[in-house]
Amino acid sequence: RMLINHVATLAEYLALLRDCADELAALQADLLIHVTRFFRDPAVFDALRTKVFPALLANRGSDQPLRVWVPGCATGEEVYSLAMALLDFLADRPMAPQIKLFGTDISESALERARAGRYGRGIESDVSAARLQRYFVTCEGGYQVSAALRDLCMFARHDITSDPPFSNVDLLSCRNVLIYLGSNLQRRVMPIFHFALTANGFLLLGEAETPGLMQDLFEQVDGRQKIYQRRPVPPR
């Protein structure tokens, strides 16, 4: 950013940041990580289909909505992938509950892309032809998530380290976010996740992530795919 603005010293750049809101926003945008894709790590979605979704649907009435929260959702691919996976799983169930998915991030530009649901033709390598036909419409340059699927997904700005969490969440997918947080922030966030989940809710983390020092809050369901279930201990 200093090179782009032809600034020679950190002191000069700090002065620029204090005087120029646009540069401050540009710096923040460059610092954020937006690397994601549809159905990232297919084995994870296989595990959700065989171990998590059946448990969440067991003894659930059609009047009990299933709630999913994806913190750090970036441009929305993870949220839409979970929505499609759930709809496919529920397709043959006559009394399927409603589903509601919440995607949150601290980047407004990423959230705008997520709400629009527009993606390039490159998603053809990650989304099957059947799902493209069922859940997308073609648009200039690629595909757009269908209006029916977008209606199930709400996107909002949210900072998991400081903002009040969502509640009564059945599945919380926070993949490859904790690795960018220091240990103190991780210790702050994990009890928040525990509070957000229902009594038998599930937590999905990234490949290199674990509950760390907060393992007393979560029971391991699938160590390889980083799936955990909320333990019935008092929230902190």
What pLDDT was estimated at residue 91?
92
**What pTM did the predictor assign?**
0.89
**For the segment 170-200, what is each residue's pLDDT rounded down to a tens digit?**
999 999 999 989 999 999 999 999 999 999 9
What pLDDT was estimated at residue 213?
79
What pLDDT was estimated at residue 29?
78
What pLDDT was estimated at residue 88?
97
What pLDDT was estimated at residue 209?
93
What pLDDT was estimated at residue 32?
74
Contact 96, 62 (CB under 8 A): yes
What pLDDT was estimated at residue 93?
83
Positions of the chain with pLDDT lower than 70, given as ranges: none
| C-beta atoms surrounding 65 within 10 Å | 12
3-state secondary structure the chain: CCCCCCCCCHHHHHHHHHHCHHHHHHHHHHHCCCCCCCCCCHHHHHHHHHHHHHHHHCCCCCCCCEEEEEECCCCCHHHHHHHHHHHHHHCCCCCCCCEEEEEEECCHHHHHHHHHCEEEHHHHHCCCHHHHHHHEEEECCEEEECHHHHCCEEEEECCCCCCCCCCCEEEEEECCCHHHCCHHHHHHHHHHHHHHEEEEEEEEECCCCCCHHHHHHEEEEECCCCEEEECCCCCC
Partners of 102 in beta bridges: 69, 154
Strand, coil or helix: 57? helix
What pLDDT was estimated at residue 35?
73
What pLDDT was estimated at residue 157?
96
